Amino acid sequence: MKSRAKIIRKKELPDFLDHLIRSYKVFGPVKRDGIVFFDAIESGNDISLDYQNAKTSPKEALFPQSETLFRYHRKEGGVDVDVPVQGKKGQVLFGIRPCDAKGFLLLDKVFGGDCRDPYYEQRRANTIVVSLGCAKPQPACFCTALGGGPCAEEGSDLLMVDIGDQYVVKIVGDKGAILLEGNRFDDAEDESLAQAAEVKKKSEASMEPPLKIHGLKEKLDQLFDDSIWAQLTETCLGCGICTYLCPTCHCFDICDEPMGQDGIRIRTWDSCQFPLFTQQASGFNPRPLVKERFRQRIMHKFSYLVEDQGEVGCVGCGRCVTECPVNLDIRELLNALLEVEAA
């Protein structure tokens, strides 16, 4: 079978990116004060591919932290609303991690179910995902426990694997092929492919699956009313950082920002960890305590989404593990839940 993989030499990469920047808005990992974020790049040299994972997930490129749904204008006898037009220019998310790419597939299901979200879908249709396989997963990474992998291709249009002075670039989707059109990259030969396979194998082997999710949903459903939740979440501050950094968390708020008689309606990321998230105008709150909100987050990801979308709402990126201010580790929590004897 003819290989659907190309070789990009590292020294060719800045030129390739400059070529992309002429036609696309390109986002990539950018280092600022030693911390890697995803940001728009203006030159192929801005990018920093020598990183483990970015502090923030690239979901913002598809689902911005704040976005205008429409503007409203009062007029005689009514109100006009108009929706901001998204630019036609496509965007390339370059060098994101396979876990984050997989996360997009879950967002696709949430925003593209029976009711479709036009803001997300337009942006998604204009987006090309170029992932970079992980040669050295971090200690907090656990993608393999959730069906992913450090060099998994799910959700990517191109998947790059670093084999020294060049990348093996696997063409996963049609959009990936379009991106390479007009460039004369060599086909990847067997030897390079073997090297890439070796990187993948070593990387996967370096990750011990820290949890087994088999039977987790059923266990969680049984434990809904168990006292374990209070114990597990005793130290949780309810700060919500886990949800903001999560590549699959999609909860949002909608509110108006008036400017005189006119104004805008915006949506912003929100978090199930905040008490106001579910507090009704009457003051009644179905999830008044941290333990209930924390349980909601875990149940949503590992039970409700499995029922609703057939998939776990976690890709094992590890951001909630590394950034939690009180060191709550979702892997340890899930393991503890799995060990509880159901009443």
Partner 1 sequence: MMENPYLPFSMRIDDIVVETEDHNIKTFVLSYFEKEDEDRFKYVPGQFAELTVYGKGEAPFGMASSPMQAGQLEFSVSKIGVLTSALHQMHKGDVVGVRGPLGNGFPLANLKGKNLVLIGGGFGFSTLRALTNYMIHKAHRSSFGDITVIYGARKPGLLLYKGDLESWESRSDIQLHLTVDTADNGWTGHVGLVPNVTKSLAPSAENAFTLICGPPAMIKFTLPVVKELGFPDDKILLSLEMKMKCGVGMCGRCNMGSQYICRDGPVFSQDQLLHLTTETHF
Q: Is 300 in the site for partner 1 (CB under 8 A)?
A: yes
Q: Is 224 in the site for partner 1 (CB under 8 A)?
A: yes
Site for partner 1 in 85-104 (CB under 8 A): none
Smallest separation (angstroms) from partner 1 to the CB of 106? 13
Neighbours of 341 (CB within 10 A): 6
Smallest separation (angstroms) from partner 1 to the CB of 28? 28
Smallest separation (angstroms) from partner 1 to the CB of 289? 13
Which residues are bridge partners to 144 per DSSP?
none
Q: Is 338 in the site for partner 1 (CB under 8 A)?
A: no
Q: Is 69 in the site for partner 1 (CB under 8 A)?
A: yes
CA dihedral (175, 178, 183, 189) positive or negative: positive
Neighbours of 49 (CB within 10 A): 15
Q: Is 307 in the site for partner 1 (CB under 8 A)?
A: yes
Number of residues this chain uses to bind partner 1 (CB under 8 A): 49
Q: Is 77 in the site for partner 1 (CB under 8 A)?
A: yes
Nearer to partner 1, 48 or 296 (CB): 296
Residue span 263-282 as binding mask against partner 1, x where in contact by CB under 8 A, dash where not: x-x-x--x-x----xxxxxx
Nearest to 191 by CA among 50, 1, 5, 11: 5
Please, which residues have CB within 8 angstroms of residue 201's CB and are 6 or more apart in sequence?
none
Could you tell me if 119 and 61 are in contact, meaning their C-beta atoms sit under 8 angstroms apart? no
Smallest separation (angstroms) from partner 1 to the CB of 258? 4
DSSP characters over 18-43: HHHHHHSEEEEEEEETTEEEEEE-SS
Q: Is 68 in the site for partner 1 (CB under 8 A)?
A: no
Burial of 297 (0-12, 13-18, 19+ CB in 10 A): buried
Q: Is 308 in the site for partner 1 (CB under 8 A)?
A: yes
Smallest separation (angstroms) from partner 1 to the CB of 79? 5
Site for partner 1 in 157-216 (CB under 8 A): none
Please, which residues have CB within 8 angstroms of residue 2's CB and are 6 or more apart in sequence?
none
Q: Which stretch binds partner 1 (CB under 8 A): 27-35, 130-138, 177-185, 246-254?
A: 246-254
In one-letter notation, the amino acid at residue 298 is I
Q: Which stretch binds partner 1 (CB under 8 A): 35-43, 164-172, 189-197, 251-259?
A: 251-259
Give the orientation angle of helix 118-125 with respect to helix 98-111, to 10 degrees: 140
Which residue is listed with tokens 């950094």?
245
**Cα separation, 116 vs 192, whole angstroms:** 42
Could you tell me if 221 and 153 are in contact, meaning their C-beta atoms sit under 8 angstroms apart? no
Q: Which stretch binds partner 1 (CB under 8 A): 4-12, 23-31, 112-120, 139-147?
A: 112-120
Q: Quick check: helix, strand or coil at residue 169? A: strand
Smallest separation (angstroms) from partner 1 to the CB of 31? 32
Cross-sheet strand order for the sheet of 127-132: 35-40, 25-32, 91-96, 127-132, 158-162, 166-171, 5-9, 186-187
Give the tokens for residue 106: 């879950």
Q: Is 125 in the site for partner 1 (CB under 8 A)?
A: no
Q: Which stretch binds partner 1 (CB under 8 A): 26-34, 115-123, 134-142, 146-154?
A: 115-123
Instruction: State which of residues 84, 87, 238, 258 lies at the interface with partner 1 (CB under 8 A).
Output: 258
Binding site for partner 1 (CB under 8 A): 69-70, 72, 74, 77-79, 81, 83, 110-111, 113-118, 121, 221, 224-225, 250-256, 258, 263, 265, 267, 270, 272, 277-282, 286-287, 296, 299-300, 303-304, 307-308
